[in-house]
Amino acid sequence: MRPNRRRNMKKPIKTVALLLSLICAIPLFAACEKKPDKPERSRYEITATYDEQAKTVAASMSLSYYNASEAILDELCFHLYPAAFREGARFSPVPKEAVSTAYPSGLSYGGIETGKVTLDGEEVKAAIEGEDEDILVVKIGGEGLYPGERAAVTLDFNLKLPEIRHRFGYQGSRVNLGNWYPIACAFEDGNFVTDPYYSTGDPFYSDCADYKVSITVPGELTVAASGKVTSAENADGTKTFSSEIEGARDYAAVIGEFKMLGSKVGNTDVNYYYISDPEPEKALTAAVDSLKTFSDKFGEYPYESMSSVETQFLQGGMEYPGLAMISDALTGDIYREAIIHETAHQWWYAAVGNDEVRYPWMDEGLTEFSTSIFYRENPGYNVDYQKRIADALGAYVLYFDAFKTASSDTSMTRKVCEYESQFEYTYMTYVKGELMFESLRSVIGDEKFFAGLKDYYSTYKFKTAKPDDLIGCMEKASGRELKGFFDSWTEGKVADFGGLSGK
């Protein structure tokens, strides 16, 4: 691709934009009024090969980076999340209380090495920086990268996989490739956001992009991935699995010896990859039902496919665009609840993004609440909605009474690294977050509440939302001032639980 850099641009961007807007206002040029077929965003192309014996991945990446900010960029920054798994990393990717569960065979290390980097066809030097030496910095020479322009970046990288039950690593024949490639840091308030891989929560924040990825593996293995996957056999006995996905905040894959069941919801492929699940049909049904329910309550599912994968995982599951990792340590109804929860994340995190480091309640609290709504709308699962809300309230009150003092911090708007433990994080973001949304629903009523969520989804789909954006949509739908309500939950020490009825 020939990049459009316009190094010699002299006129201010605002002036050019004004002239273009005037031209588009003239009926003679009515074609200017047409919306582009595809929104402008970055595009990743990744080619990777998995070496099963060495437990390594060799990959090359080509990125057409689109400057969607209003700033002239003099550098690009990329998260190297696999660096958190190296020996000597400052921040562990695993909470200290979960180390033995994450590493059942003992501590194991992995990591990432980057090779040659080019910018617009010319080889450039890249630096490793960041709080934990996990940020790749590529300098842009000349006048920099202007808003609305693109830069072509290529780089090679190699992964060493740790043996671990986590987002990135292997156990047995299964490999989780979550947060595995150099991904562009989000740009906000004049700076790239370069938070390290904290052990608490999901410490990620990125913008939507388009992806085209191919992964070559030994012939007996299968790849489940973000996007609609196709496969081709190679002459050497390997297989290459390829997929594309548009408007994705990330791209993930799981490699393993899977069986697969499939179904459809409208034009969406719904896939379930499993190894030992004794009730795979029920798992697929949960995936199908949740996709239908959330599409009806919030808005149309944003991707062409949705895959849930039974794999090794430390927690209950992990969400990625079009893909959910579900822990093989779960069974029965709890296992299927994880599928429902991670499917809800396709609306809250994947499509409507948020800074998961600073505002984790925005996706986790809303997703946990959405899971409860699923059970209300699907009584055949025999989970009583009112009891589920009552149980959440009881658990939070018990937690508050047992662990909190008058000086304790019970605010929800905190960086994930500011929580004392994964336990505290769970209660403040999942449980208290769910209770907040249930309280709001009780106050303004179902009709206005879900109208607000539909507006929130349609307005911020493939974008990043802030708390005020969510509040604004709810205020618009309800006709009420709600900032005080939200602040009492997210910033205040004690919330009013009086409105929680679960009805």
Q: Average pLDDT per run of 10 along the chain, which is 503 residues long? A: 29 36 38 58 99 99 99 98 98 96 98 98 97 98 96 99 99 98 98 98 98 99 98 98 99 99 98 98 99 99 99 98 99 99 99 98 99 99 98 92 72 95 94 98 98 99 98 99 96 58 53
Residue 471 one-letter amino acid: I
Geometric angle at alpha carbon 305, from 302 and 307, rounded to 5°: 115
Looking at residue 24, what is its pLDDT?
41
Alpha helices for 103-218 (secondary structure H): none
- Residue (of 35, 148, 42, 166) closest to 94 by Cα position: 166
Can you list the alpha helix ranges (DSSP code H) found in 172-331? Answer: 280-298
Q: β-pairing, 150-160 with 135-139? A: unpaired
Per CATH, domain 366-490 is 1.10.390.10 = yes
* pTM check: above 0.85: yes
Q: Which of 235, 503, 233, 460 is nearest to 349 (CA)?
A: 460
Q: Which of 77, 89, 111, 110 is nearest to 183 (CA)?
A: 77
For 233, the token pair is 């056999």
C-alpha 327/C-alpha 342 separation (Å) is 11
Distance CA 26, CA 6 (A): 26
The architecture of the domain spanning 36-207 is Sandwich (2.60)
Domain ranges of the chain: 36-207, 366-490
Residue 463 to residue 441: CA distance in whole angstroms: 24
Structure tokens at 308: 């849930």
* Rounded Cα–Cα distance for residues 145 and 428 (Å): 40
CA-to-CA distance for 247 and 107, rounded, in angstroms? 36
Cβ partners under 8 Å of residue 371, min gap 6: 337, 340, 341, 344
Give 136's strand partners.
78, 128
